[in-house]
């Protein structure tokens, strides 16, 4: 079964917290300077799930990502892990997309790829954490979708998944092509081998623009966005230090307990 995996590049969550920057007026999260963006962590789980299915049952894994030129890095990394092909969706008109217009472009690209039995996505992206794009893709393609799975397996043409619930999980069988979002419980993504890295380095990544995808200009990027961000800011947390007085450590301890009770902390 051929599998399509969607990828997003996000600011490196391991970057030092003091490098986190936003553009309040432009309402954007800025990538930290000198720190390359990385594949969204949950998308790596989706890649790993796809590669395990491929190893078990054959087929081809294609990764598709909408983004700027830097997104080729994510696609190359996916190919270094073992993904067969990568496709970059890039056009000036795709800029400032929200979940709806992103899902639209990805859905058109998946239609263009044509051959697939399963679409795997990460559960959510670590920059905005909205979890909306996969469901949007499923809606636009008219496919069933299951979110947040901890296990995905193929049984013939049926996809069997374990969907995470608050108090356990449920097992679902899905017939025919479907969209499944993979959670971090599903697997531990593999590290690219040297051979994988060198093979990926030699592969070309086709770039599909708006014309190639034949998309409706009114539905892509900011023009097609259904959400409007009204404010973006970094909340401030002010600390205050109060010294507890006392003649002896025991007295200081007692005074600390009294103060904590006064503040209704204990």
Kindly tell me which of 160 and 203 has the beta carbon lying closer to other proteins.
Answer: 203
Per CB under 8 A, 234 contacts other proteins: no
Q: Residue 40 has what DSSP assignment?
A: -
Asked if 16 is part of the footprint of other proteins (rule: CB under 8 A), the reply reads: yes
200 binds other proteins (CB under 8 A): yes
CA-to-CA dists, residue 226 to 9, 122, 218, angstroms = 21, 22, 11
Q: Least separation, in Å, of the C-beta of 191 and other proteins? A: 5
Contact between 13 and other proteins by CB under 8 A: the answer reads no
The minimum distance between CB 88 and other proteins, in angstroms, equals: 14
Tell me the C-alpha distance between 60 and 48, whole Å: 13
Among the candidate windows 54-62, 144-152, 153-161, 196-204, which touches other proteins by CB under 8 A? 196-204
Of 135-143, 175-183, 197-205, 219-227: span binding other proteins (CB under 8 A): 197-205
Which member of 7, 80, 133, 174 binds other proteins (CB under 8 A)? 80
Can you read off the two tokens belonging to residue 57? 């049952």
Tell me how far apart the alpha carbons of residues 71 and 79 are, in angstroms, rounded to a whole number: 13
Alpha carbon distance 2, 203 (integer Å): 19
**Shortest Å, Cβ 46 to other proteins:** 17
Residue range at the interface with other proteins (CB under 8 A); choices 141-149, 152-160, 193-201, 216-224:
193-201
Among positions 8, 54, 76, 163, the unique one binding other proteins when judged by CB under 8 A:
76
For 105-141, the DSSP string reads: HHHHHHHHH---SEEEEES--TTT----HHHHHHHHH
What angle, rounded to 10 degrees, do the helices at 194-202 and 71-81 form?
130
Stretch that binds other proteins, among 59-67, 141-149, 188-196, 254-262 (CB under 8 A): 188-196
26 binds other proteins (CB under 8 A): no
**H/E run at residue 42:** helix 41-57
Q: Is 220:91 a contact under the CB 8 Å cutoff?
A: yes
**CB under 8 A, 24+ apart: contacts of 23-32:** 23/232, 24/232, 24/233, 27/229, 27/231, 27/232, 28/96, 28/232, 29/127, 29/128, 29/232
Choice from 22, 35, 198, 226 touching other proteins (CB under 8 A)? 198
194 binding other proteins? (CB under 8 A): yes
Q: Residues interacting with other proteins, by CB under 8 A?
A: 14, 16, 18, 36, 38, 73, 76-77, 80, 191-195, 197-198, 200-201
């Amino acid at each position: 079964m051929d599998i399509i995996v969607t990828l997003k590049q996000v600011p490196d969550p391991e970057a030092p917290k003091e490098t986190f920057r936003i553009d309040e007026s432009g309402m954007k999260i800025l990538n930290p300077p000198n720190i390359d963006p990385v594949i969204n962590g949950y998308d790596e789980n989706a890649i790993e799930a796809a590669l395990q299915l491929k190893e078990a049952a054959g087929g081809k894994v294609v990764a598709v990502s909408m983004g700027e030129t830097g997104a080729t890095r994510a696609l190359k990394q996916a190919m270094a892990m073992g993904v067969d092909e990568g496709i970059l969706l890039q056009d000036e008109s795709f800029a400032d997309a929200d979940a709806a217009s992103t899902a639209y472009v990805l859905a058109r690209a998946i239609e263009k790829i044509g051959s697939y039995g399963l679409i795997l996505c990460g559960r959510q992206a670590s920059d905005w954490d909205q979890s909306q794009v996969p469901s949007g893709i499923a809606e636009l393609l008219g496919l069933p979708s299951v979110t947040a799975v901890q296990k995905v397996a193929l049984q013939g043409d049926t996809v069997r998944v374990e969907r995470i619930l608050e108090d356990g999980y449920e097992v679902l069988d899905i017939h025919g092509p479907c969209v499944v979002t993979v959670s971090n419980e599903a697997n531990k993504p593999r590290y690219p081998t040297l051979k994988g890295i060198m093979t990926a380095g030699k592969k070309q990544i086709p770039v599909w623009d708006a014309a190639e995808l034949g998309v409706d200009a009114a539905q892509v990027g900011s023009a097609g966005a259904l959400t409007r961000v009204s404010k973006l800011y970094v909340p401030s947390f002010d600390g205050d230090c109060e010294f507890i007085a006392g003649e002896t450590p025991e007295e200081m301890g007692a005074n600390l307990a009294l103060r904590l009770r006064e503040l209704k902390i204990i």
